[in-house]
Copies of this chain bind each other. A is one copy, B any other.
Amino acid sequence: MGPGKTLWYDEQDERIGYIDETLLPESFQTAYCSTIQELGNAITTLAIRGAPALGVAGSFGVALCTRTSRATSLALLLEEVKGHAEWLRSTRPTAVNLSWGIDRVLRAVVTAQTRSEAESKALAEALQVAREDAMTCHQIGEHGAALLPDDCTVLTHCNAGALACSEWGTALGVVRSAVAGGKIVRVIASETRPLFQGARLTSWELLQDGIGVTVITDSTAASLMRKGEIDCVVVGADRITHDAVFNKIGTYTHAICARHHAIPFYVAAPLSTFDPSGNERDVIVEERNRAEIAGYPGRLTVPDTVPVRNPAFDTTPLDLVSSIITECGVYSAPYDIAGIAGKHTKTFTG
């Protein structure tokens, strides 16, 4: 199930392939980045988006610039790659996975003794990150599926699906695994202003799988909860600090409303999303551009001189989270974020 690979490394032509998510659901098109600048642009415009996918993209990006560099020595290569990596890291500051994926490959590259070793190590580690991401999503799906009732309606926000990962998805991975295991699951996708990832992407990918999905405006969720039409909320995460979950703007609202109606609120995220030393107040929340709010082609919705605010993420304190679903299992309050994150180090790099 799922639309297949969301992004991949094309070794033959030394380029990164991806589904251009800005064009969905009207048009399914794949595209390629041959330079790290093109990759950064695809990330900034959200052609590539979703925390786990950004981890894979970061890895692929470091591999790409390592393998396409014209540097004349290993030392110059490392200097160039590190510079590009820092720039790529800055393209989306809030999701920790981007940095995590970049650092995974950087760490492999700096151990190389020769230029060709750097190139092969970079690619091998990047492909390993992508394989782990896919495996991780399936494990999250299995663990999370057990939490869902046998016949239920799940509210999700934004897109934490196959399109946000290399495949399968985190929040939607939970739905997919539950359906694969024989449960009846209907999904309510909140449209996710301003860029409609819920309306455009979540509905599209569930449609491919034949999983029933209905789209609502973000503000309609509470009303459906009041009517008893939502059994639980499952969302992804862009960063989990010791005190809060960072995710697409609107997540916090769903968490508050879920608590108000005594509905479980689950976060499904790989351990690469964890930032145990981070504090909510210290994380930079990306403020995106005015145009995303102020209208659409041919239509102005906000007068030109009226200011807008467009934070891409909000923060949900952990006390509103019923459980966090990871590849290593399901955790509930009180959360030991550092302890959970430690399992990751042990599994993959210990």
Contact A204:B297 (CB < 8 A) given known A193-B193, A215-B308, A249-B223 = no
Complex interface: chain B residues within 8 A of A252 (CB): 222-223, 226
Give how many copies assemble into the complex.
2
Complex interface: chain B residues within 8 A of A299 (CB): 26, 296-297
Closest-CB distance, A76 to chain B (whole angstroms): 44
Closest-CB distance, A72 to chain B (whole angstroms): 48
CA distance A316 to B82 in the complex (A): 54
Pick the contact of A25: B213, B297, B303, B310 (CB < 8 A): B303
**Which chain A residues in 202-232 approach chain B with CB under 8 Å?**
203-204, 207, 213-224, 226
Complex interface: chain B residues within 8 A of A296 (CB): 296, 299
Pick the contact of A253: B25, B214, B253, B303 (CB < 8 A): B253
A181 adjacent to chain B (CB < 8 Å): no
Q: Are B301 and A191 closer than 8 Å at their CB atoms?
A: yes
Q: Are B257 and A301 closer than 8 Å at their CB atoms?
A: no
A302 adjacent to chain B (CB < 8 Å): yes
Closest-CB distance, A192 to chain B (whole angstroms): 8
Q: Are B220 and A309 closer than 8 Å at their CB atoms?
A: yes
Complex interface: chain B residues within 8 A of A249 (CB): 217, 219-220, 223
A200 adjacent to chain B (CB < 8 Å): yes
Closest-CB distance, A260 to chain B (whole angstroms): 5
Q: Are A217 and B193 closer than 8 Å at their CB atoms?
A: yes
Closest-CB distance, A123 to chain B (whole angstroms): 36
CA distance A219 to B216 in the complex (A): 13
> Closest B-chain residue to A190, C-beta based?
B219
Complex interface: chain B residues within 8 A of A339 (CB): none
Q: Are A260 and B250 closer than 8 Å at their CB atoms?
A: no
> Could you give 25 example pairs across A and B, Cβ below 8 Å?
A191-B293, A193-B193, A199-B294, A199-B301, A207-B305, A213-B306, A214-B307, A214-B309, A215-B294, A215-B302, A216-B309, A217-B249, A217-B250, A217-B293, A220-B314, A222-B252, A223-B253, A224-B309, A253-B253, A253-B257, A257-B257, A296-B299, A297-B298, A297-B299, A298-B298
Additional 4 contacts, C-beta under 8 A, given A222-B252, A223-B253: A207-B305, A216-B308, A219-B249, A220-B314
